[in-house]
Structure 1
Amino acid sequence: MLNWSRDELVTVSGVPKSTLVRFEDGATAPRASTITAIRKALEAAGVEFIPQNGGGPGVRLKD
């Protein structure tokens, strides 16, 4: 959606690359602080998280 590389997400979120890789690979469940850091980085870039609304939760870019 943002066309970011993994390295860009690491830089913007402050989450260590090894943590991000383990999370993406499903090798570990991320801490709440990791999820928060990633979410804040994505929201700052214009991603909007949509709550469950009949069709399920999702994401979109803000106008």
Structure 2
Amino acid sequence: MLGWTQKELAVRSGVAKRSIAGLELGTSTPKPETLERLVATLSAGGIEFRNADADGVGIKLFKTSKFAHGSKPRFDEMKG
């Protein structure tokens, strides 16, 4: 959705590329802190995480954010 590689997501979130690959393959279970970092980073990029509703659980690209394709903030720069 955002066009990011695993390496780009790793740099932006501070999560190891190996951990991201394991999540995508379903071969690892993330720690809560890892999930928080990934959700915060993807949310800053414009991804909206949705709870179960009539459309089910899922994600969608909410809007293009300044972080989607341009600047590359680190996780610590995105925290409120």
Query: Is there any run of 5+ residues in structure 2 with no aligned partner, and where?
Result: 64-80
**What is the CA–CA distance in structure 2 between the aligned matches of 1:27 and 1:39, rounded to whole Å?**
19
Q: CA deviation at 1:55?
A: 2.1
**What is the CA–CA distance in structure 1 between the aligned matches of 2:13 and 2:34, rounded to whole Å?**
9
Query: Is there any run of 5+ residues in structure 1 with no aligned partner, and where?
Result: none
Structure with larger RCO (C-alpha < 8 A, sep 6+): 2
- After TM superposition, the score normalised by the length of structure 1 is 0.87
Amino acid of the structure 2 residue aligned with 1:38: L
Alignment of 1:36-55 (within 5 A): 36-55=36-55
Partner of 2:9: 9
CA offsets 1:22-63 (integer angstroms, 9 cap, x no match): 222221111111111111000011111111112211111224
**What is the CA–CA distance in structure 2 between the aligned matches of 1:5 and 1:28, rounded to whole Å?**
19
Q: Where has structure 1 moved over 3 Å in runs of 4 or more?
A: none
Aligned-residue Cα RMSD (Å) equals: 1.2
Secondary structure of 1:60's match? Answer: strand
- After TM superposition, the score normalised by the length of structure 2 is 0.71
Percent of aligned positions with the same letter in both sequences? 33
